[in-house]
Structures are given as C-alpha cells and as structure tokens.
Amino acid sequence: MKKILLLAVSLFSFIHGHAQALTHEQRLADLGRVWGFLKYFHPAVAGGQYNWDDVLIRKIAQLEKLPDAEAVNAFYTNWLDELGEVKKCRSCSAYTDDDMTTAGLSWLKENPVLNTTLRARLLDVLQNRYHGKPFYLSNKGAGNIEMMNEPKYEMMAYPSMEYRLLGLYRYWNAVQYFFPYKKDIGEDWNKVLDEMIIPFRDAGDTLAYQAAIWQLAARINDSHGVGVCAPYVPSCGSPLFGVRMAPLSLQWTEKETVVVRLGSDSLCRVDDIRVGDIIKKIDGRTPQQIIDANWLYIGGSNERGRYRNNVATLLHGNSPVADVVIERDGKLMEKKIHRYPWEEIKPWMTPSKEGMWKMLEEGVGYIHMGRLKQDSIKEIMNALKDTRAIVLDIRNYPQGTAQQLSRYTHPKATPFVYATVPQTDRPGLFEKSKDFLCGTQNKQPYKGKLILLVNESTQSHAEFSTMLLQTAPAVVTIGNQTAGADGNVSTIVFPGGYSTMMSGLGVYYPDGTPTQRVGVRVDITVTPTLAAVLKGRDEIQERALQYIHTGK
C-alpha cells in the first residue's frame, strides 16, 4: 500500500512539475487546441453564442500570468464553468478510440498538462457536442467545408500578437478537423502547432507575419494551399517574393531553369528574352539558391509540384528590373528583365493562337482540354469519330468538359472516383461518398485509342478529369507525376485580410488508391530532357505518337 501511495505521489509530482515547467509557447499551443475544440464542439459555442475571437484575445492575456500547473488547470476549469452545463445529447453518436485517433483528438486523453478531472470534462463535451446548425461551418455543394462568420480584420495589415495567434489557431484547427488528407501531411500535425507558435507570436512586422502564414500553409504539403492572398496585392502576389513579375513562363528541367513561353511577345522583345534561354543567375543568385531560400514558404504536394511552384516565382521581385545572366546557344549573356505589376502586364499579354483541336497527323486528332468548351464537344467529336486515335492534352486546367466528353468515349456509365466528405456533426471524421459515375449507355462510342497527356501542371480538376477519362476503353496515360492535389478547395482567412486554401474533399480511385501527393496513375512515364526543351520539342506528345504507331 505504501509503495502504491509513493507511486501515486511520484506520478502527481511528475505531471505537476511538467506543467509547471511548461514554456509560454507550450501553453499557447495548448490554448489553441482547447479554443478550437470548444469552437467546433461545445454546445454553448459552436452555435455562435459567443464572440469566440474576443474570448480568445482575453484568454491569451490571462494565460501568460498563470504561475503553475494548478493555475493552468483552474484556468481551463473556470472557462468551462463560464460556458455552463453540458447537457446529455442522446442523438450524438459516440467517438470511439479509433475515431479520436483519426480526428486527432487523442490529446484529450494524453495531454499531461491537463488533470484527470479536466480531461473528463473535455471528453464529456466531445460525447455531448453541439448538434445543431453550425455557426462557423457550412457544407458547400460538393460537400467540402466553407468557413463561415470568420471576420477578416482587413484593417490590420500588421495585427497584434493576439490576432496573429488567432490566425494560427484558425488555420490549425481547420486542418485538424476538416482537411481530408491530414494523415498524408507527412508529420504530426500537433507538433506543427507547437513549432509555429514562435513565428506567429514573434513576427516583428507585416512581412514576418506574411512569412509565418506562407510557412504554415506549406506544412500541409498540398498544392491547393500554395499562395497567400492579401487584399491590397493583386493576383495574390506577396512582398515576401515580390509583387512585380516578368511576363514569361519558366520550366525546371534537369536542374536548369528554361524560358518556355513568352506571356507578352512585345515586352519580352524589349528585353531580348527568347524561348529556350537558360536563366543562370537572378540578381546575383542562382535559381537553386533562390529555390532553397523559398522552399520553407512555397509548398506543394510532391517534389515535382513544389519545384513547379517555386520556379513560378523566381523572377518575381519588388524592384522594376532584375539583373540576370542567361545562357543562349552555349554563350553566357548579361541581361535586364523588366518586372511589372500584374495589372500592367495583363493588357500586354499575347493571346494564344491555338484552337481547341487540330489534327496532329492523318488519322490522329488532338484536343486541348484547357480550351475545350461544352458547346463545341459534339462538333469536334463528330469530326474526329473516324480517327484511329485522339490525344487529349490535360497539361492545363479543363473547363468542366470531361463528363460531357465521356458520353462519346464510354460505352456505358462507369464509376471513376469516390470522395471523402467532412462531417460537420462529427468534426475530424469523414464520410465516404457513393462512386461518381461518368459516361452513359452508348452503342456507338469512339472506337479509336485515347491518349491522355499529363505532367506537373495537371492539378485538381485536371486530375479529376484524367481519372474520369481513364475509365474509357483503350485509354493510355502518358507523361510524368501530376500535382497530387485533388478535391474542391476550402478557404481559410487570417486577420489582416489574408487568405489561403486547402483541399476540402478527399478524392480516390474506386479501389481506394489515393491521388493526394502521389498524383494520378501514369501508364508510360516520360520525363522531359533539357536538350528537347531547348529545341522546343514536346517529348510527352512525341511518345504518344510513338505509342499510336507501335502500340507500345
């Protein structure tokens, strides 16, 4: 009996001492967890009965003054007392231990700072949670979450410390309970909160605050979450990388940065910049050095997509001119490339002269899915119905035409994906949808081969369209790893009017194969070479023609 008593005293001392030794950062992280949990679960909060932002601001000030573990537990206990009695919810289904693990709620049982009584009260909130219409949430038409009643505080370009932490807590809890790919992030999301307290709390100016938001958004490894928009910067630019941009597109190939498209022929002609130029230095730094410096802030679902996202900002800057070194025909040249605000570039952009479709050669049609319009599908498919193959280029963003196109390519209705949808009445858990169908009963579907072209630019609806078209007969997908970010997006706002996004629905092949981070299935992998890019050759399209000719 004496040994048991000593063990109990030792355990109490450990817990008490651990809480006592907690840093201010650890206390703030726990506050963010509890505040977000009560926001979405507590019957007196989730329906909008309190100004929950204001409550948080007051609690942050109180938390800093607490002397020890006993005071920390009293702080949370008094908070729960203020919210009133939690009545039994007979219609609320219980969270099992597995549910709590999936939802990231294991901390309710395992957090050593919270005493037994306090944990029991929080678990009681979980099992008797709010069961009405959520004040902070709405399911959009597709089922992903829309964050509601979240003030933007747009006048706070540089919010105070309390409001910066509010932004962190908003985002962290949105991901915690409504991001369908949390298990695919690649790290413990609880530790991310612990680590991001300091960047948000100690951000010394507006730029540092923006950097903290970019860094946080990059941690979910989701290409939908790349980019932080500000109300006063057009086209979601950021002073962090530069609000001015060059009117051209770059591609990362074999560790070289190549100009692959001129957004404005006339503006690029002024600077004598051409397709095929290799950018060796920008303002004294190599492209790799710039990418390494920005890697923490510009994320992506996979490495290929992350390089794509980073390369897109290489020539951004806040000054009107970039001093560059380029390589052209084996010779190094020093050049100046002018940068422009987006609103100044837009009127000068060179429109594409390419149409929705063409013949690549006799008997082989080509459709650009990014340009294809609904009202043109019938005419185009009638023109191509007797070809031996159609190449569908999905290295772009389609205009919602794949479903209509499948009426011509599929002999019958066919399942192609299912989704996982967040449950507003059980935050942190997701419900599997029925299979989505494409195609329809068709006695005369297209008889030739279908070749789908994909690469790292194939993202979101483009990946969804690819998965749909992959269910057609005699279809082959050629290219390289896609962006790995599928599913409708949800927007999260930060004080100061900043906003970013995350994938809001999980999307899977009917057999359960994921696409998040890995991309869609590719049958024949083609990785473009520098030599081909410099000559303007499209090796993915060339491989498609080879397959059409040889069958392999």
Q: What domains appear along the chain, each with residue ranges and CATH number? A: 1-135 (no CATH), 138-238+352-552 (3.90.226.10), 248-348 (2.30.42.10)
Residue 415 has which token pair?
């399942």
Q: In sequence order, what E strands does 376-497 have? A: 389-393, 414-422, 430-432, 436-438, 449-454, 475-479, 489-494
Per-residue CA distances from 365 to 6, 102, 256, 383 (Å): 81, 47, 32, 9
- Per-residue model confidence (pLDDT) at position 17: 42
Instruction: For 109-124, write each residue's pLDDT tens digit.
Output: 999 889 999 999 999 9
Please say if the pLDDT value at position 89 is more than 70: yes
Q: Is the pLDDT of residue 9 over 50?
A: no
189-201 helix and 161-178 helix, angle to the nearest 10 degrees: 160
pLDDT at position 21 is 63
pLDDT number for residue 166:
98
CA dist., res. 45 & res. 131, Å (int)? 11
For residue 234, the model assigns a pLDDT of 64
Q: Is residue 14 very low, low, confident or very high in pLDDT (cuts 50, 70, 90)?
A: very low
Scored b (16 or more CB within 10 A) or e, 48-85 reads: eebebbebbeebbeebeebeebeebbebbeebbeebee
The token pair that represents 27 in the structure block: 């206390």
22 pLDDT exceeds 80? Answer: no
CA atoms in the 13 A half-sphere facing the CB of 254: 9
Q: Which two tokens stand for residue 517?
A: 């981070």
In this structure, the number of other CB atoms found within 10 A of the CB of residue 533 comes to 21
The pLDDT of residue 19 is: 40
Say if residue 366's pLDDT is above 90. Answer: yes
pLDDT tens track for 463-487: 999 999 999 999 999 999 999 999 9
Ramachandran sector of residue 186 (left: φ over 0; alpha: ψ -120 to 50; beta: rest): left
| Residues 406 and 436 sit within 8 Å (Cβ to Cβ) | no
Contact criterion met (CB below 8 Å) for 106 and 98: no
Beta strands in 246-403 (DSSP E): 248-253, 256-262, 278-282, 321-328, 331-338, 357-361, 364-368, 389-393
The per-residue pLDDT for 157 is 85
Rg for the chain, CA atoms, rounded = 27
For 190-243, how does the pLDDT look when each residue is reduced to its tens digit (9 = 90+)? 999 999 999 999 999 999 999 999 999 999 999 999 888 887 766 667 888 998
**pTM (predicted TM-score):** 0.93
For residue range 169-189, what is the model confidence (pLDDT) as tens digits?
Answer: 999 999 999 999 999 999 999
Q: What residues form DSSP beta bridges with 365?
A: 359, 390
Q: Residues in the chain, how many?
A: 552
